[in-house]
Amino acid sequence: MPGAGAIFLRVYENTLVRQTEAELIAQTAALSAAAETLWPGARVITPTEAQRAAPDYFRPEPAAIDLRSDPILAPRPPARVASTPPDPEALAAAAILTPILDETSRTTLASIVLMDRNGVVVRGLGRGGTWRDLPEVKAALSGSPSTVLRRNAAYQPRYQMEWLSRASGLRIHHARPVVVNGRVEGVILTSRSPRALFKGVYQDRGKILFGIVAVLGLLSVLAVVVSRGIARPIEALRRVARDVTNGGGKVPPPPATAAVEIRDLYEDFGRMAEAVDRRSRYLRDFAAAVSHEFKTPLAGIQGAVELLQDHGDDMEAEQRSRFLGNIDSDARRLSDLVTRLLDLVRADMARPEAGAAVALQPVAARVADALKGDLAITVDLPADLPQVAVPGASLEMALTILLENSRQVGASEVVITTRIEADQVRLFVTDNGPGVAAGDVERIFEPFFTTRRSEGGAGLGLSIARSLLRANRADLELVTSATGAIFQIVLPRVQA
C-alpha cells in the first residue's frame, strides 16, 4: 500500500503539471489569436465553411511535459540588454493588448511577456531587454510553440512535507509565436508555478478519499473471499491429509463457500484417498492370500524333507519315490504361483497404450486356432467390426484365460459373439460348462479364489485378465445366465 500510494502521488503530481501546461497553452493560444487580430496592419482572414469542415482544421495541442523524463532547466535569467530598439508595430500592439494581458494575468496568476520579432520585450517583466537566446523563445521565433520546465528562483517552502513534491520548486514556461500575415511578428511568453501537490490533494480530497475507501473495501472483500474460498478449505484438507497419512480420517465434503477449483481438489483428493485405502486393503488381503497359498506347498515340502531325513534309510524305494514326487509337485506348484504372481503384478502395473487400434476378428481367430482340440470354439464376429483401443497382446491373453477356464471346468463348446454400441464394443464368451455357483459370483475375480485347488488351480487367471483390461480402460464382467458361463469384455472403440 505505501508503494501504491507513492506511485499514485507521482502520477497525480505529473497530472497537475500537465494540467497547468494545458492552461498556459489555452491562455497563450487565445492571447496569440487576439494579438494577431489587433496587430497593426494585420489582414484578418475569416475561414470559410469549407475550411472549417476540413478534417485537419481543428488541431488540438496536448500537454507534453513529463516530470520523469523532461530536463529541468535553470531559473530564467534576467533579460539581456537588447542590441536593437523595440519594433514600433510591436509597441503599438502592446498598448492595445495591455488591458487584455493585465486582466488575464490578474485572473490566472500567470506571468505574461510580449516580445517583438527580435525577442525584445515590449510588455511585461524585463521590458526593453531581450530573451531571444532562451530555447523556448528561439523555438517560438522559428514558428513553433514550446514548453520547458525551469527552477523557480523565488521559491520558498511553506509546508513541512513540501519536500516530497518534485514540482513544488519548478515553474512552467510556455512560448507561442504571434503570426501576422504569414510572418512571425512577436512572441507571447507565459510562466506559472504548477498547482502544489498537497494543495491539489486537499482540493480533491473527496475523490481521493472515496478511491481509498473503495480500494480498502475491495481488498477486504478479496481477503474474505480468499479466506473462505481458498485458505480455510486448504487448511482443512491439509489436516485431513495428515490423518490419512496416519491411516485414518475421511475426506469431508468441500465447504459451500469454496472455489470451484478447491471443490475439484477435494473430489480428486477424496478419490485418491479411497484409491489408497482400497490399495492398502488389497495389499493386506493379497499378502494374507499369498502367505496362505505358499504355506501349504511349503509345509508339504518341509514335512517330506523331514521324513526323508529321519527315516530315509528305512523307507522302501517306492515310498521314498512317492515323497520325492510330492516334493517335486509342491515345488512346481510354487513355481507356477510365482509365475502367476509376476503376471498379476505386470497386469496391475500396466499403463494404457497410446494409439492402440486392434481388429477383434483376427485376434479371436488366432486364439481359437491355438486352443482348438477337445474344445469346439465358434468365432461369430462380423467382418465390419470396428477397431478397439486395447493392445492386441492384452486382449489375446484375456481371451486365452477365459477359454482355458472353460476347458478346465469341462465345457465342450465356446461361442464368441459381439455387440456394437456407440462408444464401445462388447465381446461375449459363452460356454456350455457347469457355470458359476451363486455363492461364488461375488468372489470369482478375487486373487487366489478357485474351485479347482485340488487340481492345482491358483485362482489368478481372471484377476490377471481383468487387471490387463482395466489398465487399458476396458473391463471384464460375469453375465448372469441360466446355463453355462457368460463373460463379457467391454472394449472402448477407436475414435475417429
383 in any annotated domain? yes
Please count the other Cβ atoms lying within 10 Å of the Cβ belonging to residue 32.
19
The DSSP annotation for 255-290 comes to: PTTS-HHHHHHHHHHHHHHHHHHHHHHHHHHHHHHH
CATH number, domain with residue 7: 3.30.450.20
Residue 113: pLDDT above 70?
Answer: yes
> Could you read off the pLDDT of 364-407 as tens digits, one per residue?
888 888 887 778 888 888 888 888 888 888 888 888 888 888 88
* Cβ(94)–Cβ(112) below 8 Å: no
Which of these three, 148, 179, 203, is where a domain ends? 203
Strands (E), 39-164: 72-73, 80-81, 111-116, 121-123, 129-130, 146-151
Range of lowest pLDDT (46-50, 92-96, 171-175): 46-50
**Residue predicted with more confidence, 132 or 207:** 132
Is the torsion defined by CA of 390, 394, 400, 403 positive or negative? negative
> At 33, which helix (H) or strand (E)?
helix 2-38
Residue 313: pLDDT above 80?
Answer: no
**Residue predicted with more confidence, 410 or 282:** 410
162 in any annotated domain? yes
Cell of 393: 497382446
Which amino acid is located at 2 in the chain?
P
Range of lowest pLDDT (7-21, 59-73, 126-140, 196-210): 196-210
341 in any annotated domain? no
Residue 271: pLDDT above 90?
Answer: no
> Could you read off the pLDDT of 320-349 as tens digits, one per residue?
788 788 788 778 777 766 766 666 666 555
CATH number, domain with residue 384: 3.30.565.10
Burial of 344 (0-12, 13-18, 19+ CB in 10 A): buried
**Residue predicted with more confidence, 5 or 87:** 87
Residue 254: pLDDT above 90?
Answer: no
Give pLDDT, residue 129.
Answer: 94
32 in any annotated domain? yes
Cell of 130: 531581450
> Could you read off the pLDDT of 454-496 as tens digits, one per residue?
555 556 778 778 877 887 788 888 888 878 888 999 998 887 6
Give pLDDT, residue 389.
Answer: 87
Domain count across the chain: 2
Range of lowest pLDDT (97-101, 198-202, 301-305): 198-202
* Cβ(140)–Cβ(175) below 8 Å: yes
Which of 24, 39, 133, 129 has its CA nearest to residue 88?
A: 39
Residue 5 banded pLDDT, cuts 50, 70, 90 = low
278 in any annotated domain? no
Cell of 31: 492571447
Mean pLDDT value across residues 68-85: 92
Which of these three, 155, 171, 203, is where a domain ends? 203
pTM: 0.47
Mean pLDDT value across residues 286-309: 73
**Residue predicted with more confidence, 459 or 187:** 187
Q: Is 360 in a helix, a strand, or coil?
A: helix
Give pLDDT, residue 76.
Answer: 93
Cα distance between the two ends of the chain: 56
229 in any annotated domain? no
- Whole-number mean pLDDT of the chain? 82
Q: Is 394 in a helix, a strand, or coil?
A: helix
Q: Which domain holds residue 106?
A: 2-203
Which of these three, 143, 178, 203, is where a domain ends? 203
- Angstrom CA distances, 10 to 5, 89, 285, 390, stand at 9, 45, 71, 66
145 in any annotated domain? yes
Which amino acid is located at 428 in the chain?
F
> At 210, which helix (H) or strand (E)?
helix 205-226
265 in any annotated domain? no
Mean pLDDT value across residues 67-86: 92
